């Protein structure tokens, strides 16, 4: 074999290993189902989507994630175009080539959240005192101020500023795909991929902004502007550190709210194998009849003996109850599962839930494993390093 042929063969082998679908080349999956999981009266809005991936070559394992390429809300795009004072058909040149301003704002840039570049420009180039004061303060203050605001709000902080479209777009971030845990099993839900997105909304109030409702780019796109039969651009990201163990290994799953998504995939996959591993799920919802996600499926698995289920309904009693409280009440048995080799998974909110779960886990190990405080913390770290304590938090 000549050196040239050898190089060509190696290049072809590398190319064949690359995923066909990616951030730059998403697969257009047809939406088979798009339904509301939560009750209309619930304070939470969570949907269940089924995407057809038959023949796409997309492969995934339970625990992996799907990335959705969103499109921005037409009304917000139109309002920004109007604020800029130019026709939406105005041609602009950016890294994607030449396209209309409307197309660029719809598919190319983040407009539903604040832009750090635009904030910096307003503070330093435009001299907006309100923004300048925020930028020299602590991070928590600017995060609180930014929550719910979008780039139209930032533009309106300086009514005298009339940037060209190119100057305005230069201060924005590219529109990024949103990542969701896959909630289906490839062996049970063959040819499809399921996701369980929560819809982020900031409804208008008398005290807030200019009366406009605001929302997340991808979540409102999936909830409001994608119907059954439409296509959605997707690609898969592997999460090898969050995959299932051997079928005979016990697993403990902790996932309130939409954190249940990968565990639904786990449970369906485990129901289709020949293993003897036990499954224990700690889930959390506000109300049993409003936002207990996949409750009929979970109850059926529990009735079949395939699942031990503990659910915290945080708003059904005067004192709130969370998954960490349920763990503490089952501390002795939970520790025995871990001591005997069970894998513990945590999925969901990183700021409070995951912290509370780890504190409870540490206390359980201390109380039932004959450790002092330092020893219990060291044991939690050992479990993490050994792959017996796995987290997918955000």
pLDDT digits (tens, 9 = 90+) for 189-204: 999 999 999 999 998 8
> CA-to-CA distance for 102 and 88, rounded, in angstroms?
5
> CA-to-CA distance for 88 and 82, rounded, in angstroms?
8
Task: Copy the structure tokens of residue 290.
Answer: 């409003």
pLDDT, position 18 = 56
pLDDT, position 293 = 98
pLDDT band at 11, cuts 50/70/90? very low
> CA-to-CA distance for 147 and 150, rounded, in angstroms?
9
pLDDT, position 356 = 97
List the one residue out of 194, 223, 346 whose CA is nearest residue 284.
346
Phi, psi of 157 (to 5 degrees): -70, -20
Portions of the chain given CATH number 3.40.50.80? 244-393
pLDDT, position 274 = 87
Q: Which residue has 């819809």 as its token pair? A: 199
Is the domain spanning 244-393 CATH 3.40.50.80? The answer is yes
For the cut 70, the answer to whether the pLDDT of residue 185 exceeds it is yes
Task: Copy the structure tokens of residue 257.
Answer: 């709210």
Portions of the chain given CATH number 2.40.30.10? 20-69+180-237
> CA-to-CA distance for 380 and 387, rounded, in angstroms?
11
* Pairing status of strand 91-94 against strand 97-100: antiparallel
| Residue pLDDT, tens place only, 292-314 | 999 999 999 999 999 999 999 99
List the one residue out of 268, 275, 269, 267 whose CA is nearest residue 247.
275
pLDDT, position 77 = 98
The pTM assigned to this predicted structure is 0.92
pLDDT, position 17 = 54
pLDDT, position 370 = 87
| Residue pLDDT, tens place only, 313-328 | 998 888 899 999 999 9
For the cut 80, the answer to whether the pLDDT of residue 28 exceeds it is yes
Phi, psi of 123 (to 5 degrees): -75, -45
For the cut 90, the answer to whether the pLDDT of residue 169 exceeds it is yes
What letter does residue 259 receive in the DSSP assignment?
G
Range 11-39 average pLDDT:
82
For the cut 60, the answer to whether the pLDDT of residue 14 exceeds it is no
Range 81-102 average pLDDT:
93
* Pairing status of strand 65-69 against strand 178-181: antiparallel
Range 269-281 average pLDDT:
95
pLDDT, position 61 = 98
Residues 45/293, Cβ–Cβ less than 8 Å: no
| Residue pLDDT, tens place only, 54-75 | 999 999 999 999 999 999 999 9
Q: How far is C-alpha 212 from the geometric centre of its chain's CA atoms? A: 25
Task: Copy the structure tokens of residue 356.
Answer: 């509370």
Range 89-93 average pLDDT:
95
For the cut 50, the answer to whether the pLDDT of residue 13 exceeds it is no
For the cut 90, the answer to whether the pLDDT of residue 234 exceeds it is yes
Q: Which residue has 């180039």 as its token pair? A: 125
What is the residue-averaged pLDDT of the chain?
93
CATH topology of domain 20-69+180-237: Elongation Factor Tu (Ef-tu); domain 3 (2.40.30)
> CA-to-CA distance for 191 and 185, rounded, in angstroms?
10
pLDDT, position 9 = 54
Range 119-126 average pLDDT:
96
For the cut 60, the answer to whether the pLDDT of residue 377 exceeds it is yes
pLDDT, position 22 = 95
For the cut 90, the answer to whether the pLDDT of residue 249 exceeds it is yes
> CA-to-CA distance for 35 and 33, rounded, in angstroms?
6
Share of the chain above pLDDT 70, in %: 94
Range 26-36 average pLDDT:
98
List the one residue out of 383, 341, 387 whose CA is nearest residue 362.
383
Is the model more confident about 95 or about 122?
A: 122
Residues 215/200, Cβ–Cβ less than 8 Å: yes
Task: Copy the structure tokens of residue 94.
Answer: 């950016």
pLDDT band at 210, cuts 50/70/90? confident
Name the CATH superfamily, with its identifier, for domain 74-169. NADPH-cytochrome p450 Reductase; Chain A, domain 3 (1.20.990.10)
What letter does residue 7 receive in the DSSP assignment?
H
For the cut 90, the answer to whether the pLDDT of residue 2 exceeds it is no
Portions of the chain given CATH number 1.20.990.10? 74-169
């Amino acid at each position: 074999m000549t050196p040239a042929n050898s190089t060509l063969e190696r290049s072809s082998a590398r190319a064949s290993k690359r995923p066909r679908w990616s951030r730059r080349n998403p697969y257009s999956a047809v939406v088979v189902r798009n339904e509301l999981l939560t009750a209309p009266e619930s304070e939470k809005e969570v949907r269940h989507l089924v995407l057809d991936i038959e023949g796409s070559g997309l492969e995934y394992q339970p625990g992996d994630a799907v990335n959705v390429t969103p499109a921005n809300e037409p009304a917000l795009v139109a309002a920004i175009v109007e604020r800029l004072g130019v026709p939406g058909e105005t041609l602009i040149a950016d890294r994607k080539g030449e396209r209309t301003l409307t197309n660029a704002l719809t598919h190319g840039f983040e407009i539903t959240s604040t832009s750090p570049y635009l904030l910096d420009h307003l503070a330093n180039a435009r001299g907006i005192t309100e923004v300048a004061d925020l930028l020299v303060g602590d991070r928590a203050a600017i995060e609180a101020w930014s929550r719910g605001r979008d780039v139209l709000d930032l533009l309106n902080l300086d009514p005298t500023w009339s940037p060209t479209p190119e100057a305005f777009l230069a201060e924005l971030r590219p529109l990024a795909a949103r990542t969701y845990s896959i909630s289906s099993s490839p062996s049970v839900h063959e040819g499809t991929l399921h996701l369980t997105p929560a819809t982020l909304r900031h409804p208008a109030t008398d005290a807030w902004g200019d009366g406009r409702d605001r929302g997340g780019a991808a979540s409102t796109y999936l909830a409001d502007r994608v119907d059954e039969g439409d296509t959605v651009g997707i690609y898969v990201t592997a999460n090898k550190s969050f995959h299932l163990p051997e079928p005979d290994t016990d697993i403990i799953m902790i996932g309130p709210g939409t954190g249940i998504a990968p565990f639904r995939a786990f449970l369906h996959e485990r129901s289709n194998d020949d293993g003897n591993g036990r499954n224990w799920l700690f889930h959390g919802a506000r109300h049993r009849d409003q936002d207990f996600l996949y409750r009929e499926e979970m109850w059926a698995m529990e009735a079949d003996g395939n699942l031990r289920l503990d659910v915290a309904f945080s708003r059904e009693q005067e004192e709130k109850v969370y998954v960490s409280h349920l763990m503490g009440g089952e501390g002795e048995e939970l520790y025995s599962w871990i001591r005997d080799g069970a894998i513990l998974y945590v999925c969901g909110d990183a700021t409070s839930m995951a912290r509370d779960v780890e504190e409870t886990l540490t206390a359980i190990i201390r109380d039932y494993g004959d450790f002092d405080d330092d020893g219990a913390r060291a044991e939690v770290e050992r479990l993490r390093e050994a792959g017996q304590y796995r987290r997918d938090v955000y």
